Amino acid sequence: MTSTVITGIGELTTNDDELGTLTDAALVIDGDRVVWAGPAASAPEADERFDAAGRAVLPGWVDSHTHLVFAGDRTAEFAARMAGQSYQAGGIAVTVEATRAATDEELAANLRKHIAEAAAQGTTCMETKTGYGLTVAEELRAAKIAAEADEVTFLGAHLVPPGEDADTYADLVRGEMLDAVAPYVGWCDVFCEQGAFNADQSRRILVAAKERGLGLRVHGNQLGTGPGVQLAVELGAASVDHCTYLTESDVDALAGSDTVATLLPACDLSTRQPLPDARALLEAGATVALASNCNPGSSYTSSMAFCVATAVLQMRMTIEEAVRAATWGGARALRRESGDGAVGVLRPGARADVHVLDAPSTTWLAYRPGVPLTHAVWRKGTRVG
């Protein structure tokens, strides 16, 4: 195994309570792990040396919400939205049709292309979902293809297939479909929203998944207030994603729980929804994550830097809050922020997922919005960007 010392770090964001943020720092990686972080003056020797020349270094982005097993695009739908039409959950059916028509190789190549695109921008840990198959065979196929991502979520309950009865389909999802995909996924998610699945259907599916040992996630409160957040908290979901429309009691429930509020600002912009009230969540004490929601319908970007800049410029998050939410927060939403091989943190024992910015501090992510600022990226100790 080769070790590398990254020297000349102008600002090192560790997300570690003891190490904090360091200036004039160094970091040593050995194999796929971080083995040392601290002041440059006391850095140990390593086989190789990388001079960051005063640049900022932070953990790679942890993108905890994407939908990347898909084919086709929805350019026309996007253009229609920009001309005034509203976003409808039913648009998902267009991608379902294109995905079913694609070969395994085409779907895998598309997923790989997007993972590489994200890695080149500093994303080193990515969750992705099924949800554009909606039959037992197609969801199983998607779950197997999705294995290239760090975390795989079963989202058979993404949309009731057009023409089918919602309760009958929900029973299929929590029965035969869950049985088929469970060996290939770590998580189960439900789109709990008007036009998709109601609270009862969502609860039944999530309870069945929990009984099978899967972790839970919920798409909730995206298009209006609704039961998604309360259901996620009630069932101990790791994360409830979107949180665009929250009542005070939703905010209180999140603040009093271990459920992460994962905000998806690129999606809200792309669907012409308001941006979520991050300040209310943070001030109440809720844990907040930021994710891209990269998918061909509601949010076709893999740029976590764009999400961070939006959170700072338009959602009144501080730079530190936004960067932490896009790294440690995403890791927490995937329950991967602690222990050996943790992501979203830079401390001895963490996975060597390192993002060197072409900037002296993370402030530049919002100070220079839209400008590519990734200088170098390591994932599991290997240079990927």
Residue from 55, 81, 114, 219 touching ligand NIG (CB under 6 A): that is: 219
Does 267 interact with ligand NIG (rule: CB under 6 A)?
A: yes
> In whole angstroms, how close is the CB of 11 to ligand NIG at the nearest point?
33
> In whole angstroms, how close is the CB of 201 to ligand NIG at the nearest point?
15
| Contact range with ligand NIG by CB under 6 A, out of 228-236, 293-301, 318-326, 338-346 | 293-301
Task: Please check whether residue 256 is in contact with residue 284, taking contact to mean a CB–CB distance below 8 angstroms.
Answer: no
C-alpha to C-alpha distances, 303 to 66, 142, 296, 359, nearest whole angstrom: 11, 23, 14, 17
324 is in an annotated binding site: no
The rounded distance, in Å, linking the Cα atoms of 149 and 343 is 14
132 is in an annotated binding site: yes
Does 295 interact with ligand NIG (rule: CB under 6 A)?
A: yes
Does 114 interact with ligand NIG (rule: CB under 6 A)?
A: no
> Whose Cβ is closer to ligand NIG: residue 15's or residue 222's?
222
Question: Applying CB under 6 A, what is the total number of residues that bind ligand NIG?
Answer: 13
> In whole angstroms, how close is the CB of 219 to ligand NIG at the nearest point?
5
Task: Please check whether residue 215 is in contact with residue 238, taking contact to mean a CB–CB distance below 8 angstroms.
Answer: yes
Does 130 interact with ligand NIG (rule: CB under 6 A)?
A: no
Could you tell me which residues are beta bridge partners of residue 27? 6, 37
Residue from 10, 59, 60, 91 touching ligand NIG (CB under 6 A): that is: 91
Residue-level length of the chain: 385
Task: Please check whether residue 302 is in contact with residue 114, taking contact to mean a CB–CB distance below 8 angstroms.
Answer: yes
Three-state DSSP at 164 gives: coil
| Contact range with ligand NIG by CB under 6 A, out of 29-37, 87-95, 328-336, 376-384 | 87-95
Count the Cβ atoms, other than its own, within 10 Å of residue 2.
11
Return the amino acid letter for 121: Q
Residue from 95, 110, 259, 310 touching ligand NIG (CB under 6 A): that is: 95
Does 92 interact with ligand NIG (rule: CB under 6 A)?
A: yes
Considering only residues 310 to 329 of the shown chain, the ones binding ligand NIG according to CB under 6 A are: none
Three-state DSSP at 220 gives: strand
> In whole angstroms, how close is the CB of 206 to ligand NIG at the nearest point?
16
The rounded distance, in Å, linking the Cα atoms of 278 and 118 is 24
298 is in an annotated binding site: yes
The rounded distance, in Å, linking the Cα atoms of 221 and 295 is 18
Three-state DSSP at 47 gives: coil
Chain residues that interact with ligand NIG, rule: CB under 6 A: 67, 91-92, 95, 191, 219, 222, 267, 293, 295, 297-299
